[in-house]
Amino acid sequence: MAKPEILKSIKDILDKYVAKKNLRKTQERYRILEFIYDLDKHFDVDELHRKLKESDFSVSKATVYNTLELLLDAGLVRKHHFSNNTAYYEKSYFNKAHDHLIITDRNGKVEQIIEFCDPRIDAIRADLEQHLNIHISDHDLYFYAKKI
Amino acid sequence: MAKPEILKSIKDILDKYVAKKNLRKTQERYRILEFIYDLDKHFDVDELHRKLKESDFSVSKATVYNTLELLLDAGLVRKHHFSNNTAYYEKSYFNKAHDHLIITDRNGKVEQIIEFCDPRIDAIRADLEQHLNIHISDHDLYFYAKKI
DNA sequence: ATGGATGCAAACTGTTTGCACTACT
DNA sequence: AGTAGTGCAAACAGTTTGCATCCAT
């Protein structure tokens, strides 16, 4: 179970987001948010949908997609595309920006994800922004290693 | 049209690859390879298939997929997953390893791709390899900026 | 009570697969 | 001649969409 103060903070963020956008405070949105913050690794939509079903709270896949989209926009989750065609998500609050080392098996299936954070990325980013006179909103850095 | 010496080199690489793997030297493989090396930007499978059809040489989508897989394994093309569920490809020979700045419109649709290369990535990679005692085979670095 | 959100199923898109036919070796 | 490779269409997986129903406001 996520720590109570974290739970409070993320609900608060969702409250504000929902209020600002004039959306409704549905059970689904809050339950899915809490559920995600109880997970400790990256997950795909199917996995989340299945685990929600296994828990007491079952929702449709459409709602999972909708809610993830909303949480993404609210900055409460991050979305990743590793080197296959499935999107992966992870909670993002109290979980500072980071990069990934993806370890796959021989077939390219994701086996393990190691997170790290390196300040040199921000330096590259700053240089790019200055050099091209643009604003970079985000980045993805993935290193790949194959399991022997 | 790609420079003749480049054409010669890439055909040579494919020749050797095909010979080593005991595969056949089909028209399709060589024509698609040449075609890709005439393109100057990233492309997805659909685009390549369409452009091939528009040119004199039409092949099936299955063959496009098969051939890209083969060229990928031969090291003649690179494959990317930007922040959507389509795979993008690009020629890789005489086109040194590089990273990407993806500029999208408000809807997240890819508008422009700027390539760059920064040695700091290799430094990060080397540190990771040493620290975790693994071999990193590859990496993807994408910076994202939205068109105003 | 109103209409935004959900659930379900159908549609869609990118990719993979199976099988008859073609053409390299 | 033998069989890897191709073309086509059907199957698949992940995601999106349409519409009837439900429930937060």
pLDDT given at position B27: 96
Give yes or no for a contact between A116 and B128, defined as CB atoms under 8 angstroms apart. yes
Q: Touching check for B84 and chain A: CB below 8 Å? A: yes
Q: Touching check for A146 and chain B: CB below 8 Å? A: yes
- Chain A, nearest residue to B99 by Cα: A141
pLDDT given at position A78: 93
Reference A120, options A139, A145, A95, A94; nearest CA is: A139
Contact A128 B116 (CB under 8 A): yes
A27-36, A93-102, B112-121: least confident range: A93-102
Residue B18: is its pLDDT beyond 80? yes
DSSP conformation class of A22: T
3-state secondary structure B91-122: ECCCCCCCEEEEEECCCCCEEEEEEECCHHHH
Q: Touching check for B107 and chain A: CB below 8 Å? A: no
Q: How confident is residue B143, by pLDDT bands cut at 50, 70 and 90?
A: very high
Alpha carbon distances (Å) from B145 to A80, A125, B44, B109, B128: 16, 11, 21, 11, 27
Residue B61: what residue type? K
Structure tokens that stand for A116 in this block = 């790290």
Task: Dump pLDDT digits (tens) for B72-120.
Answer: 999 999 999 887 889 999 999 877 768 999 888 766 677 888 889 899 9
Q: How confident is residue A108, by pLDDT bands cut at 50, 70 and 90?
A: low
b (16+ CB within 10 A) / e for A102-111: bbbeeeeebe
Q: How confident is residue B56, by pLDDT bands cut at 50, 70 and 90?
A: confident
- Residue range B99-146 forms a domain whose CATH class is alpha beta
pLDDT given at position B107: 66
Residue A30: what residue type? Y
pLDDT given at position B108: 66
Q: Which nucleotides of D are covered by protein (CB under 7 A)?
A: 4-9, 13-18, 23-25
**Rounded-to-integer distance, Cα B131 and Cα B119, Å:** 19
- Chain B, nearest residue to A125 by Cα: B143
Three-class SS state of B77? strand
Three-class SS state of B86? coil
- What percent of chain B is helix, strand and coil (3-state, nearest 5)? 45, 25, 30
**Rounded-to-integer distance, Cα B18 and Cα B11, Å:** 10
Q: How confident is residue A141, by pLDDT bands cut at 50, 70 and 90?
A: very high
Q: Percentage of residues in chain B with pLDDT exceeding 90? A: 68
Q: How confident is residue B25, by pLDDT bands cut at 50, 70 and 90?
A: very high
Instruction: Pick B146 or A116 by higher pLDDT.
Output: A116
Residue keyed to tokens 């990535």: B121
Q: How confident is residue A111, by pLDDT bands cut at 50, 70 and 90?
A: confident
Three-class SS state of B21? coil
Residue B34: is its pLDDT beyond 80? yes
pLDDT given at position A107: 67
Residue A57: is its pLDDT beyond 70? yes
Between strands B99-104 and B136-146, the pairing is: parallel
Residue A42: is its pLDDT beyond 80? yes
Domain with residues A4-91, CATH architecture: Orthogonal Bundle (1.10)
User: How deeply is A29 buried, as exposed, middle or buried, from its count of CB atoms within 10 A (0-12, 13-18, 19+)?
Assistant: buried
**Rounded-to-integer distance, Cα A64 and Cα A24, Å:** 16
Q: Is any atom of nucleic acid chain D found less than 7 Å from the CB of residue B2?
A: no
Average pLDDT on A1-15 reads 88
Q: Mean pLDDT over all residues of chain A?
A: 90
pLDDT given at position B67: 98
Cite the residue boundaries of each domain of chain B with CATH code 3.30.1490.190. 99-146
Instruction: Pick A83 or A64 by higher pLDDT.
Output: A64
Q: Percentage of residues in chain A with pLDDT exceeding 70? A: 95
Cite the residue boundaries of each domain of chain B with CATH code 1.10.10.10. 4-91
Subset of residues 94-133 in chain B with CB less than 7 angstroms from any atom in strand C: none
Residue B146: is its pLDDT beyond 90? no
